[in-house]
Structure 1
Amino acid sequence: MRAIRPAEEAEALPRDPAAEARALRASVLGSLRRRDQRHKGELYVDGLLTAPGRKTMRNLAASTDERAAEQSLHHFISCSTWDWSPLRARLARGLDRLLAPRAWVVRPLVIPKTGRHSVGVGRRFVPQLGQVVNSQHGYGLWLASGAAAVPVNWRLSLSGDWLDDAEMRQRAAIPDSMDEGAARAPAVDMVLESAGWGASAVPVVADAREEALPALVEAFSGAGLSFLLRIGGGTGLLAPNLSAGRSRVAAGSATLLAELARSQRRPVEWFDPAGPGLPRTSMVALLPVRLPGGPGGSAPLTLAGVWSPDSREVSELWLTNMTGAGRGTLLGLGRLIGRADADFRRTGLAVGALDFEGRSYHGWHRHATLVSLAHAERMLASGAHRGGAALTAVPMVTGGRRARGRGRFGPVAVAGRAEVPVPGRGVASPGRAAG
């Protein structure tokens, strides 16, 4: 993720909220080669923003003044040939300038379904809900600041049934390039694709408690990406044996090792970017660790344990390759998952993130792409990305004192981006039980 922009996007977008939203739409839809496609894109995004209720093709068409709009929009989404990747890349670069993001947040996506014909649908256990649900499952990649978050890339998980059954593949128009290898790690594939879009290098933040942790660490480290991953308490790690001297190594669960570092806890005052503007305090301890053998086993990492002030048990565990980052920086980055979750509930659902009724693989991705654009427009037009969080979302290690010479808080865009170290240089979903 490099801060390099194509020449046609080098000029800064206007600062008026409504003008920003219009300019971003024109830039993104400008990736479509044909005028009729750009027109249909305008109609579709207008429908996502204005049509009442579920964003079915019928409701979207009813929000236009054009005859045969339902058939036309259906063809544009499900049967056309336009590639969604250039639109997503241009959206990400535009939002990178406007949003001043602090992280790329990977968020799981669960779409309940009543039938069995939608692409990727199946019965699976959903940890966030604690039950088996007939659903589609995927991931969204969100650009997140303390003030707002917007999805810019998507992946849909496909099980072996969908990949191995020739009739199901043909019915859903699943491309030949989508084989078992490509479908094995959709979240990683999504992040690595996005890393090549030229946006700023910010950390990848994800809840990895249900993911294959070594594979994530290996992939992100190999790509030179900073990351902060929430892990489960049973994750096995290696750490200096604090009770016997740092020359010896202790092996144990993340929970056990965090308890060994209890004496290293310090108070961190922070603000929930998605909640009321009242300060909260957590106790945070940092411990150098490594993964035991296997991929990424030799990479130096940091385990961050988080305790509530009134609890003796660790409530959250995070693993990062930003070994020089402070407690406040790491806690603040982790809280951006809540920012993405809140904006999904408040804006993503309203613009139809779960409402696609078609059956094709291409149709789902095109719908998701235009949902991202509609989400970005609504956020920009509201001015939410310039909200009060600019002075309230920077967590700081206070130790009971105010920082001297700079007031109590620092601006999000400055502290959040400048404090992020480069790995190796010395520096979805809520509702789950912590740790």
Structure 2
Amino acid sequence: MERLRGECYLRGLMLDGRRKSIQPMAERLRDGDMQALQQFVNQSPWEWTPVRQRIAQRLCEAVQPEVWVVDDVSFPKCGTASVGVARQYCGALGKRADCQVAVSVHAATDTASCPLEWELFLPREWADDDRRRQRAGVPEEVGHVSKTGLALGLLGRLAGQGPAVPVIVADAGYGRSVSFRLALEERGWSYVMAVDSKEIARPAAAKPWQPEYGGLGPPTLPRYREAAKPLTAFVDSDTRFDSVTWRQGSKGTMTSRFAVLEVRPSGKEATRTAQEAAGGRSRWNGVLPLRTLLIEQPAEAAEPTGYWVTNLPVTTPVADLVRWAKMRWRIEHDYRELKHGLGLDHFEGRTWRGWHHHVTLVTAAQAFLTLRRLDPKAPMPA
């Protein structure tokens, strides 16, 4: 019976209709039973994790992703009873508002993409409110975890299912976190992360020096003679920019100018993580690790318009770095289809279970459509 209800819900998501919440979908479907669909999504105990695992397996096999894209998406909400709703920055509205926020990981190439995993961000005010948690059915083991922490959990879950982890891509909301980048490196994963232009770094040739010990207090630690500078300072008249075309867009080829440099990301977080990696402050030799910096400056621009940091070697072909960095555009395609075509943000339930059931079914619907677009004549095994 659950399978039949699931098929009914999926048809409701994919058929024409402006609103994809349960009541209007039930009214449009011949076999639509609003009460049964409500129970299937909000109360039924079926596990969503195995369903997502199967979707991820099928999509990774079919899409052969070049990248996994980490992102988050917001759902504006009226009232504060729905699980995870709090006043926070809402990307859908471009301002602070009452909303839910979810972290997602997507498989992507230039021609296809689909979400693989989701997690709902639980604000601290929810984590500490037992009454709200109980009403929304939040599991006891679920607490407040940062968005980067949720992303690491999702990536680890996907990696544990067997597929090879491709290059991981994210916007500056994740890329600015040095600890997040280091966590990816510790797991042996490659990344290309957008970063803020104000992030500070030192030149590749910079070397720390050891001040003489004055005889009092703890020994002095190695340090750099010159202060770190923002990424904007690494671009001057001698910086070499090469023209790179990364894909064919709707209005022609996508082309811009890019430069590749080596830098040593700096700052308190970079220093602290480097010390931890060395086994402690006293064991650190003061050398900040080298990372590759990708810079975009279109010919018509007076200054750079984008910066990305990657742990891939500086010898990596610039065309590959650019293609991976720019592949995040596929996520906008995903969200447009998920929201406007499949009702991702139309769910009206309030519970943890209901939200996860809904996004899993929406993901299944988009996975089906993605497979159809890749091979319209291919049979669809269960």
TM-score by length of 2: 0.82
Aligned residues: CA RMSD? 2.6
Distance in 2 of aligned mates of 1:128 and 1:316:
22
Instruction: Name the structure 2 match of 1:54.
Output: 19
The code of the aligned residue for 1:321 comes to: N
Q: Runs in 1 of length 4+ with deviation above 4 angstroms?
A: 181-184, 247-250, 296-299
Distance verdict in 2 for CA 1:332–1:161, change over 3 Å: same
Greater Rg over alpha carbons, structure = 2
| Offset from partner CA, 1:353-378 (integer Å, 9 cap, x none) | 11111001111111111111101112
Distance verdict in 2 for CA 1:141–1:296, change over 3 Å: farther
Give secondary structure in 1 for the equivalent of 2:346: coil
C-alpha deviation, 1:325, in angstroms: 2.0
Mapped contact 1:148–1:343 kept (Cα < 8 A):
no
Matched, 1:263 2:239: yes
Q: What stretches of structure 1 of length at least 5 have no aligned partner?
A: 1-35, 387-435
Instruction: Name the structure 1 match of 2:264.
Output: 290
C-alpha deviation, 1:342, in angstroms: 2.1
C-alpha deviation, 1:168, in angstroms: 0.5
| Offset from partner CA, 1:185-219 (integer Å, 9 cap, x none) | 22222222222122232111000236651121122
Instruction: Name the structure 2 match of 1:352.
Output: 343
Percent of pairs identical after alignment? 29
Instruction: Name the structure 2 match of 1:23.
Output: none
| Offset from partner CA, 1:321-366 (integer Å, 9 cap, x none) | 1124221111111221112202321454311111111001111111
Within-5 A mapping of 1:89-238? 89-126=53-90, 129-181=93-145, 185-209=149-173, 213-238=177-202
Distance in 2 of aligned mates of 1:262 and 1:315:
18
Matched, 1:363 2:354: yes
Matched, 1:300 2:277: no
Report how many aligned residue pairs link the two structures: 343
Distance verdict in 2 for CA 1:179–1:80, change over 3 Å: same
Give secondary structure in 2 for the equivalent of 1:295: helix
C-alpha deviation, 1:61, in angstroms: 2.1
Distance in 2 of aligned mates of 1:369 and 1:266:
43
Give secondary structure in 2 for the equivalent of 1:119: coil
The code of the aligned residue for 1:336 comes to: M
Distance in 2 of aligned mates of 1:181 and 1:125:
16
The code of the aligned residue for 1:38 comes to: R
Distance in 2 of aligned mates of 1:345 and 1:48:
14
Distance in 2 of aligned mates of 1:66 and 1:190:
35
C-alpha deviation, 1:125, in angstroms: 2.6
Distance verdict in 2 for CA 1:180–1:295, change over 3 Å: same
The code of the aligned residue for 1:115 comes to: G
Give secondary structure in 2 for the equivalent of 1:354: helix
TM-score by length of 1: 0.73
C-alpha deviation, 1:309, in angstroms: 1.3
Mapped contact 1:51–1:63 kept (Cα < 8 A):
no
Mapped contact 1:271–1:277 kept (Cα < 8 A):
no
